[in-house]
Structure 1
């Protein structure tokens, strides 16, 4: 089967551009994501404790009772302690 052209290859990487890579997230109190995520997707609602990319001193923020759906926050880390949301996926350029 011939490969199809990449319709999104010309998009400039930005928060609003389509994600080009996805990775399941294993929340961790001690390890950052392998790359800075442009956004997250939550597959099961709950609290989501994250360290945003530009957080001063790596301060974490809890998004209480986040519904299923996208989290438009560039994220460095998803913490295990304080996160009850599940099936989290990181979106990358």
Structure 2
């Protein structure tokens, strides 16, 4: 049976009656978000990103060289390819990511 201990209000405010235990108990921490930035290093996503980046660089080089017609054709194609590639890679990433 535990003993009860009366503490006055002034003593409660000014004296620490809580004594921490000498050996704190270990506890397990769990994460509900199993996300790692290293998961973005998927070879498929890196390959798709490299291809899109290469096409964008080719477009800029053609623009500098003065081949505006071909550069405009690349720009028209990229307006369609970039969003489709981004959402496709995002869908692929979440479909293959192990939760």
If each structure's helix is expressed as a fraction of its own residues, which one has the higher value? 2
TM-score after normalising by structure 1: 0.23
TM-score after normalising by structure 2: 0.22
State which structure, 1 or 2, has the greater radius of gyration over its C-alpha atoms.
2
Which fold has the larger relative contact order, with Cα–Cα distance below 8 Å and residues 6 or more apart in sequence? 1
If each structure's strand is expressed as a fraction of its own residues, which one has the higher value? 1
